[in-house]
């Protein structure tokens, strides 16, 4: 992604931030939770001009041939391009970026204009044993776009120029879209034709269709629209041994599907250039509302009933008590009549035993579709939630969530700037195992925070995607940074959480992929035979090992 005001050291663009004005409870509450000093010292990132990168390892003859192949303006070696493509957006990426530490920057960044250039580039790189790192929006949080420690030069392949809607089949509700299209570009082009893909991850503004497919991503409305693998009908991928195109049919019985090899391949087999996606007409309404439950278990029971007996929601996000308390701490303070109404509502909820900060848990629930159908769905859904003790809060909370749904990552930059470690992890399991996994995983994270000088720490979780058979858990953890050992501290917490997840029957990843950070744990999920099978596929499609080595499969 080549934006002039991109934060090379953080999330998003320089002209935006998470607004903390009018939220007077946030800093006092955070200081209490994390044991932070009363006076916080801000540590800004180093200036870009202070960053020193190793020289490109591509010599002049190689660079000349690359420019002849792709065009002079398509190849970049400048400091900003190499810095912006050196990392993703994981915690350890941002810690290193803010400090100006870029140990393995790409030796060049290229921007192919079409599939023909992608194919020519891969053939050229194979002949010279040069590594290729596919790059969409760079929003990965698992190290999937960082070049490896390797004697071979590495080139990052940014697909930003391949961002078009190729065709739309209105009858079949299918659209062919180039892999470099960002979320806003996908939706703008489809919306103009009256359709939507319905895929809205929190990284929506800064991630791409190809990245979603390559990591088996899930959007915030995936409960209703499906994960990206449910939306993907066919792909074209350029591999080192040729172009592979899966057939554009709704289903097939022609053996194991090649499509399933490419969805989730994380750039290790080739470069996805375009995909046929299952799209839907734009919904007439998006009606999202809030509920409060006395206990997490009550909210889980309501979600399970909604998925198994209906009506299945478009979106469902159930926060545990700590996350519900965090939402309360981030709430705006009002004045006048609105302030009076807020105090009355707080008193009333307290009488009902639904005070945020105790055991109360917040549920965001929503339905997309024709207005009349959505009204009918809400009547049934409200009854289900009430049967489990849910207290309806109305649309105000849903509208507030929609306004801020994509700005929360900016708050991480603010926290990093004052010495707070903040990161996320996610997993999934069955309904019968959900509470067990939740308790084991969050307990392991809390213990690891305490053991690594993170202070008391704060761990909060929500159920982010649900199915008739189970759901996913998305956890955010915060603690005081161990100054001078920030990355070692983070790795300790990360390892504890990952080992706890696998031991408790969770999946290694529900929607972030594997990247580099999880590669050493993959055999714990799929076993040694499964790992050998994946390596055999890698060897068949990338025999020289130039495609994103060390990602997904440990080098």
Q: Which CATH number does the domain housing residue 301 bear?
A: 3.30.70.3450
H or E element in which residue 393 lies: strand 391-394
Please, which residues have CB within 8 angstroms of residue 86's CB and are 6 or more apart in sequence? Answer: 97, 102, 104, 105, 106, 146, 147
Strands 420-430 and 285-293 turn out to be unpaired
Show the tokens assigned to 449. 């925070």
Please, which residues have CB within 8 angstroms of residue 490's CB and are 6 or more apart in sequence? Answer: 91, 92, 95, 421, 423
Does residue 373 lie in a domain region? yes
Q: Report the number of distinct structural domains present in the chain.
A: 2
Strands 391-394 and 195-196 turn out to be unpaired
392: helix, strand or coil: strand
Chain-centroid distance, C-alpha 434: 21
Q: Are 133 and 267 in contact (CB under 8 A)?
A: yes
Cis geometry, peptide bond prior to residue 311 (ω within 30 degrees of 0): yes
Q: Of 91, 142, 202, which is closest to residue 508 (Cα–Cα)?
A: 142
Does residue 80 lie in a domain region? yes
Q: Which long-range contacts (CB under 8 A, 24 or more apart) does 402-405 make?
A: 402/286, 402/288, 405/200, 405/202, 405/220
For 371, the domain range is: 285-405
Out of 388, 405, 422, pick the residue that ends a domain. Answer: 405
CA distance 171 to 179: 23
Residue carrying structure tokens 């041994």: 241
Show the tokens assigned to 258. 């090649």
DSSP string for residues in 292-317: EESSHHHHHHHHHHHHHHSPPPSEEE
Does residue 129 lie in a domain region? yes
Please, which residues have CB within 8 angstroms of residue 354's CB and are 6 or more apart in sequence? Answer: 292, 293, 294, 360, 391
> CA neighbours within 13 Å on the CB side: how many for 227?
19
Does residue 67 lie in a domain region? yes
Please, which residues have CB within 8 angstroms of residue 448's CB and are 6 or more apart in sequence? Answer: 454, 492, 493, 495, 496, 497
User: 452 φ, ψ to 5°?
Assistant: -115, 25
Q: Are 158 and 135 in contact (CB under 8 A)?
A: yes
Please, which residues have CB within 8 angstroms of residue 347's CB and are 6 or more apart in sequence? Answer: none
CA distance 250 to 508: 29
Out of 384, 405, 426, pick the residue that ends a domain. Answer: 405
Out of 158, 179, 200, pick the residue that ends a domain. Answer: 158
What residue spans of 86-197 are helical by DSSP H?
Answer: 91-98, 115-128, 183-191
Does residue 82 lie in a domain region? yes
Show the tokens assigned to 428. 């999934």
User: What does each C-alpha distance from 143 to 88, 90, 289 come to in angstroms?
Assistant: 6, 7, 35
Please, which residues have CB within 8 angstroms of residue 11's CB and are 6 or more apart in sequence? Answer: 89, 94, 206, 409, 410, 412, 413
User: 168 φ, ψ to 5°?
Assistant: -130, 125
Q: For residue 293, what are the β-bridge partners? A: 361
Q: Return the pLDDT at 450.
A: 95
User: 3 φ, ψ to 5°?
Assistant: -105, 135
Q: Return the pLDDT at 355.
A: 67
Residues of the chain with pLDDT under 50: 337, 340-341, 344, 347
Q: Are 70 and 118 in contact (CB under 8 A)?
A: no
CA 488, 491, 492, 493 dihedral sign is positive
Does residue 368 lie in a domain region? yes
Strands 470-480 and 458-467 turn out to be antiparallel
Q: Which CATH number does the domain housing residue 47 bear?
A: 3.30.43.10
Q: What is the pLDDT of residues 384-428, one digit of tens each?
A: 999 999 999 999 999 999 999 999 999 999 999 999 999 999 999
CA distance 260 to 251: 12
Q: Return the pLDDT at 358.
A: 77
Q: Are 463 and 430 in contact (CB under 8 A)?
A: no
Catalytic: which of 288, 348, 474, 521?
474
CA distance 37 to 34: 9
Q: Is 467 a catalytic residue?
A: no
Does residue 340 lie in a domain region? yes
Chain-centroid distance, C-alpha 281: 25
Does residue 431 lie in a domain region? no
């Amino acid at each position: 992604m080549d934006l002039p005001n991109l934060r090379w050291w953080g999330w998003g663009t320089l002209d935006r931030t998470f607004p903390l004005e009018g939220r007077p409870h946030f800093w006092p509450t955070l200081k209490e939770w994390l044991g932070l000093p009363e006076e916080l010292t801000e540590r800004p990132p180093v200036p870009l001009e202070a960053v020193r990168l190793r020289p490109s390892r591509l010599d002049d003859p190689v660079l000349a041939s690359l420019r002849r192949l792709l065009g002079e303006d398509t190849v970049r070696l400048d400091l900003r391009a190499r810095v912006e493509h050196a990392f993703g957006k994981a915690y350890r990426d941002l810690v290193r970026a803010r400090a100006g530490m870029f140990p393995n920057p790409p030796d060049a960044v290229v921007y192919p204009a079409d599939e023909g250039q992608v194919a020519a580039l891969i053939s050229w790189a194979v002949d010279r044993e040069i590594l290729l790192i596919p790059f969409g929006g760079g929003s990965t949080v698992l190290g999937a776009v960082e070049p490896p420690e390797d004697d071979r030069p590495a080139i990052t392949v940014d697909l930003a120029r391949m961002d078009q809607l190729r065709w739309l089949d209105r009858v079949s509700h299918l659209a062919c879209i180039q892999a470099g299209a960002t979320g806003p570009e996908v939706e703008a082009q489809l919306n103009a034709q009256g359709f939507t893909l319905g895929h809205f991850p929190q990284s929506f503004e800064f991630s791409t269709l190809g990245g979603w497919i390559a990591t088996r991503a899930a959007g915030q409305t995936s409960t209703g629209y499906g994960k990206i693998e449910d939306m993907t009908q066919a792909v074209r991928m350029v591999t080192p041994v040729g172009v592979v195109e899966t057939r554009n049919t709704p289903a097939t019985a022609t053996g194991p599907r090649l499509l399933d090899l490419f969805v989730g391949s994380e750039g290790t087999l080739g470069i996805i250039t375009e995909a046929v996606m299952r799209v839907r007409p734009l919904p007439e309404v998006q009606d999202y509302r809030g509920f409060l439950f006395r206990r997490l278990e009550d909210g889980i029971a309501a979600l399970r009933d909604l998925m198994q007996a209906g009506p299945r929601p478009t979106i469902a996000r159930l926060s545990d008590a700590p996350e519900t308390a965090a939402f309360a701490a981030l709430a705006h303070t009002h004045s006048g009549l609105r302030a009076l109404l807020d105090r009355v509502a707080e008193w009333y909820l307290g009488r009902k035993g639904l005070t945020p900060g105790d055991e109360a848990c917040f549920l965001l629930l929503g339905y997309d579709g024709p207005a009349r159908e959505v009204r009918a769905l809400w009547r049934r859904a409200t009854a289900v939630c009430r049967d489990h003790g849910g207290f309806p809060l109305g649309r105000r909370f849903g509208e507030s969530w929609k306004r801020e749904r994509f700005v929360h990552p900016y708050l991480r930059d603010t926290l990093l700037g004052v010495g707070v470690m903040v990161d996320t992890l996610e997993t999934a399991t069955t309904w019968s195992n959900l509470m067990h996994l939740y308790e084991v995983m969050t307990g392991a994270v809390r213990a690891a925070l305490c053991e690594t000088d993170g202070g008391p720490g704060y761990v909060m979780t929500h159920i982010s995607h649900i199915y008739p058979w189970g759901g996913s858990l998305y956890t955010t953890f915060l603690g005081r940074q161990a100054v001078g050992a920030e990355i070692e501290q983070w790795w300790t917490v990360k390892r504890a959480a990952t080992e706890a997840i696998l031991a408790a029957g969770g999946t290694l990843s529900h929607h972030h992929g594997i990247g580099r950070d999880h590669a050493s744990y993959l055999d714990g999920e799929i076993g040694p035979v499964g790992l050998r099978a994946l390596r055999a596929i890698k060897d068949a499609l990338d025999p020289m090992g130039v495609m994103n080595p060390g990602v997904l499969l440990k080098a």
